[in-house]
Every structure is written in C-alpha cells, then in structure tokens.
Amino acid sequence: MWLALRQALRRTLLSRSTLTARLAVLLALAIGGLGGGMVAYQARDAEVDRLDRRLEAVTADVGAVMDEVVDSGKEIARLTAEAGDSRVVAERQQTTIRELETTLAETASRLARAETAQGELGLTYVDLLDERDELLASFDMLEAEREDLITELATWSILTRIDSASLKIDPLLFDPASGASLLRAVCTGSMEPSIGCDDTLVAFRPQTQDLAVGDIIIFRAPEPGCVGFSFASTILHRIVVVQRSAEGQIEFRTKGDSVSQVDPCPVPQSHVLFEVLAIISDSRFDQ
C-alpha cells in the first residue's frame, strides 16, 4: 500500500515539471518576435531551470520521505504483529495468572484446613500422652501388685489345700515344711469309727519318747508267726501297751478300735513309721 502511494505521488510531480517546461516554451514563442524578448526568455528559462531543480530536489525529498513512510509502515506492521503476538502471550499469561490464583486459593484453603487439623491433632496428641502416662502409672502399679502376688504365691505354693465336708470353716492349708505328712487312711475298717476310708491323716515320724498309750501309729505289718515285718504293707492301729522286749528294747502292743483282741505281734520301735497327729474326716487334698 505504501509503495503504490509513493509511485502515484512521483508521477504527479513529474507531470507538473513537464507542464511548466511547456508553458515556458509557449511563452517564449509568443514573445519571440519581440526584439528584447530573448533576454526575458533566457531569464524565464533560468527561472524554470531553477524551479525544475528545486522541484527535483523536493521530489527526491518526497521520495525519501515516502521511503521512510514505507519503512515506517513496515515497522508499524511488524510492531502490530508483535503487538498481536504480545496480546496472545498476554492472554496466555493472564490465563496462567488466573489458574495460579485459583491454585493459590485452593492451597490457602488446604493450608487452613491443615492448620486446623494440626491443632486438633496437637490436642489429641497431648491427650494421648496424658492417657499413656496414666496407663504407664497403672502398669507400674499392676506390676508391683504382680510382684507381690508372685511373692505371696511362692509363700503359699508349698501349702496343700485340704477340703472336708465336715469342716464348718475355710479349707485347711497344710505346710509340709512343718515336717508332717498328709496320708490317706488305711482302709480296713479296723479303726472305725475313729478313722474311716475317706479320712485324711496328718502324721509325722516320731521319736520313741514321743509315743504313749492311746497314740495312733502306722507301722510295718508283721510276717506270720511274728518272724519279721513286711516292707510292702502297713497297719494303722492304736497303742494299748508300751513295754520292753527280752533284749531291753521298747516295743508297743497295738489294737484296732473296732477289734476286741490285741494284735498278736508286738511292734518294735524301729518299725513305727508315723504317729497320727490329726484326723480330717471326709476330706480330700491336692496331691
């Protein structure tokens, strides 16, 4: 567009220059017959040349201006294109800014929620710490109680529990450390009604001086003919006589409470196994 304008303007200027030259020639012919017209013609011709040179200079200046205008137009077109590109970039940047603003708002919201949650978790954490301390204190207390129970159990574990239907009190606790023993009664019926088959006997190994008439003892059963004593069976009877043998040894005569006759064989003190200290009727004990 700028190039076409420049060419049109150049054609206009050239046409004016040619018209001026022609007018000068016609003027010179009109006055050619006059004697002094040559001088005037020459003056006019010089003026025309001056004007023509001036017009050419102006034309050159106009051409230069037109070139500048064309260059300016190109620059304007380039800047316009750049401006268009810049608008596109600006619109993209504006879109990006809006997206970033949205993301920033969402992040701020999440941060606020996170701060709230953090505060709640902080309170929960403190509560859990307090609860943990309470549980630790309870654990320490229970551990101390456990140690006390273990100590008490060790103390009572050696005891034997004895239950009896005839007891009107709590079950008996037997301590074997006393040196006594718990024995089942010899179930023959010879000591009825003093001792029955379901009774438990508390017995100990006596010294000879501990035994007297009326004591109930457990001794080795004699062999037939009183020629010896069995190591496999025992008898539970009451002492009715304390005497000395022909050799001067203490021996005992025994009899069952439900039997009318005294046992035929005296019992040497070496064959007495236990003296009965107590009888627990209708009882059972943990073995």
DSSP assignment string, 235-264: EEEEEEEEEE-TTS-EEEEEE-TT-SSPPS
Q: Give me the pLDDT at residue 97, please.
A: 84
Distance CA 185, CA 197 (A): 6
Q: Residue-wise over 56-74: b if at least 16 C-beta within 10 A, else e?
A: eeebeebeeebeebeeeee
Q: Would you state the structure tokens that stand for residue 89, as one six-digit string?
A: 């970039």
Distance CA 182, CA 180 (A): 7
Where in the chain does DSSP place strands (E)? 160-164, 172-174, 181-184, 200-204, 216-222, 229-244, 250-255, 267-268, 272-280, 283-285
Q: Give me the pLDDT at residue 2, please.
A: 46
Distance CA 6, CA 67 (A): 8
Longest C-alpha distance within the chain, in Å? Answer: 218
| Strand order from edge to edge, sheet including 229-244 | 181-184, 200-204, 272-280, 216-222, 229-244, 250-255, 267-268
Three-state secondary-structure class, residue 159 = coil
What is the separation of C-alpha 190 from the centre of its chain, rounded to a whole number of angstroms?
A: 74
Give the residue ranges of the chain where pLDDT is below 50: 2, 5-6, 9, 13-14, 16, 25, 31, 34
Closest CA to 242 of 232, 252, 234, 233: 252
Point out which residues pair with 184 in neighbouring strands: 200
Q: What is the pTM of this model?
A: 0.44
Which residue ranges make up each domain of the chain? Answer: 2-92, 163-285
Q: Which fold has domain 163-285?
A: Umud Fragment, subunit A (2.10.109)
Q: Would you state the structure tokens that stand for residue 87, as one six-digit string?
A: 């608008």
